């Protein structure tokens, strides 16, 4: 079963819980087990938080587009924003050799998701996060 869902949230931390809820439910519909679902929710939360903090410099009046496209094999999440482009080094994630506080969000995304990539699309920043699904796990309608 293929589906596409799109959500636009304000760049306001108060709306992170809404994004998490949507991602969690999408993951459940796609049949991800609980631990993987929690991980994907965390990864997307970190991604949206990074957009708020770094792309929009904590401005709460901007928009973040969360696009979810799923099929039997994978869920592809895309985050689009019109803020400042990220530092390529930050996208790569930092080594966790010490107790530094920065970069752990990106590290979490890389550790949890199967693919992570960035590009610019029509003047917007696009972060693409992919989670592969266990075989044939999309729940039937109404499930």
**What residues line the site for another protein (CB under 8 A)?**
12-14, 16-17, 20, 35, 38-39, 41-42, 45-46, 49, 52-53, 96, 99, 101, 104-105, 107-108, 111-112
CA distance 5 to 20: 14
- Cα radius of gyration rounded to whole Å, the chain: 15
Select from 12, 14, 52, 50 the least CA-distant residue to 129: 50
DSSP conformation class of 15? G
Q: How many CA atoms lie within 13 A of 38 on its CB side?
A: 2
22 versus 73: smaller Cβ distance to another protein:
22
Find the shortest distance in angstroms from Cβ 90 to another protein. Answer: 13
Nearer to another protein, 52 or 138 (CB): 52
Structure token pair of residue 43: 């990864």
Compute the least distance from the CB of residue 48 to another protein, in Å.
8
Which of 34/72 has CB closer to another protein?
Answer: 34
CB 44 within 8 A of CB 66: yes
CB of 69 to another protein, least distance (A): 24
Rounded to a whole number of angstroms, the minimum distance from the CB of residue 39 to another protein is 7
Identify which of residues 20 and 74 has a Cβ nearer to another protein in the complex: 20
């Amino acid at each position: 079963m293929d589906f596409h869902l799109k959500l636009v949230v304000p760049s306001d931390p108060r709306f992170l819980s809404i994004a998490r809820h949507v991602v969690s439910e999408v993951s459940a519909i796609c049949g991800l087990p609980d631990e993987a679902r929690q991980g994907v929710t965390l990864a997307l939360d970190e991604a949206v938080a990074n957009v708020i903090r770094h792309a929009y410099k904590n401005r709460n009046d901007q928009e973040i587009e969360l696009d979810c496209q799923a099929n039997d094999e994978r869920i592809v999440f895309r985050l689009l924003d019109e803020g400042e482009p990220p530092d390529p080094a930050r996208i790569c994630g930092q080594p966790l050799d010490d107790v530094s506080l920065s970069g752990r969000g990106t590290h979490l995304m890389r550790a949890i998701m199967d693919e992570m990539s960035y590009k610019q699309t029509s003047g917007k920043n696009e972060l693409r996060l992919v989670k592969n699904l266990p075989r044939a796990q999309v729940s039937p309608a109404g499930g």
